[in-house]
Amino acid sequence: MRVALLQFAPALGELTPNLRRVLDGVREAAAAGAGLCIAPEMSLTGWTLPDDRLRARLADQTAAVALPALADAARSNGITVVVGGPLPDPSGAGISNCAVALGPDGRRAVHRKLHLFGPETAWWTPGEHVEVMTAPGAVIGPLICYDGEFCEVPRLLRLAGAQVLAVATTNMTPYERDQDLIFAARALENECAVAVCNRVGFEGDWRYFGRSLVADARGNVVAQAGADDELLLADVDVTGGAADPALGYLAHRRPRIYRALCDGEHVGSAPAEHEEVRA
């Protein structure tokens, strides 16, 4: 699959210019033969949104204006789109930071950010689950920035069948090395392609460094952007054929043992000799 990463600097607090930029990028990506186009985290509105009324207005506009337009662009251009923006929580409990995957056949998957970073804890209602979407050519697992830094979340998407982890990010200085290291590792340990679309530009004191990347199933970075606006294209094997069969991370898992990570059993101390951690 050819993947396109639409790296740009969203206008803060405005939907219309950002939507126009993403729609232009989708058309450009499709014309270049891409089957998947990913835009950054909160690319429809900008990330720094402390004002309650502005967040609510932008979330309503994202749902009513942006997503229908992007769904139509996905259909008319024959491409899957992953875009970041705010959406009302379906329970009515608040608003979430979302990455939405839109397929050319009308399918949709919504990832609501599970782990909130810094000031986001005051802005968003966190999600509670992951979703994948079957698109032409691959099963796509949409993901957002900080969530990808918790190894459990990409693994959940992979176990749900994702062949490409489509990560929308707003990574800022000084986390350049973190982005390169973490997402290459996520590709390697999950034996699948990982495509990370980061933004550029500034918001207040935050400086976003770009460096969007695509890593293959062996954790090799096969394409990486610079620090400016760019449409990065890369061809990736979505079948997992690039993985090393001798390693077999997925095949060799022992989930019964890992349950102790969640129930707290034996955390902080080693089991007695010959004692087995219970399932």
Assigned domain for 34 exists? yes
Tell how far CA 219 is from the center of its chain.
17
Q: Is the dihedral of CA 138, 141, 144, 148 positive or negative?
A: negative
Question: pLDDT-derived band of residue 187, with 50, 70 and 90 as boundaries?
Answer: very high
The larger pLDDT score, comparing residue 38 to residue 251, is at: 38
Tokens of 113: 């950010």
Segment 131-182, tens digit of pLDDT: 999 999 999 999 999 999 999 999 999 999 999 999 999 999 999 999 999 9
Q: Is cis: bond before 174, omega within 30 of 0? A: yes
201: domain CATH number?
3.60.110.10
pLDDT at position 278 is 38
The catalytic position among 37, 41, 98, 131 is: 41
Helix axes 67-77, 16-31, angle to 10 degrees: 10
Assigned domain for 253 exists? no
Identity of residue 262: C
pLDDT at position 265 is 53
Q: Which residue from 64, 78, 86 is spatially nearest to 12, judged by alpha carbons?
A: 86
Assigned domain for 168 exists? yes
% of residues, the chain, pLDDT over 70? 94
Segment 198-232, tens digit of pLDDT: 999 999 999 999 999 999 999 999 999 999 999 99
Give me the residue label for tokens 């089957």: 35
Lowest-confidence segment of 35-49, 65-79, 216-230, 265-279 by average pLDDT: 265-279
Across the chain, mean pLDDT equals 93
Q: Which residue from 212, 150, 155 is spatially nearest to 182, judged by alpha carbons?
A: 150
Assigned domain for 180 exists? yes
The catalytic position among 37, 98, 113, 197 is: 113
* 98 carries an active-site annotation: no
Segment 16-32, tens digit of pLDDT: 999 999 999 999 999 99
Assigned domain for 258 exists? no
pTM assigned to the model:
0.93
Q: Is the pLDDT of residue 60 over 60?
A: yes
Assigned domain for 185 exists? yes
Q: Is the pLDDT of residue 115 over 50?
A: yes
Question: pLDDT-derived band of residue 184, with 50, 70 and 90 as boundaries?
Answer: very high
Assigned domain for 49 exists? yes
Tell how far CA 134 is from the center of its chain.
16
Q: Which domain holds residue 228?
A: 2-240
pLDDT at position 271 is 45
pLDDT at position 93 is 82
Q: Is the pLDDT of residue 279 over 90?
A: no
Domain count, the chain: 1
* 192 carries an active-site annotation: no
* 145 carries an active-site annotation: yes
CA–CA dist 117, 85 (Å, integer)? 16
Assigned domain for 270 exists? no
The catalytic position among 37, 98, 145, 197 is: 145
Segment 239-274, tens digit of pLDDT: 877 678 788 899 999 999 888 888 765 545 444 443
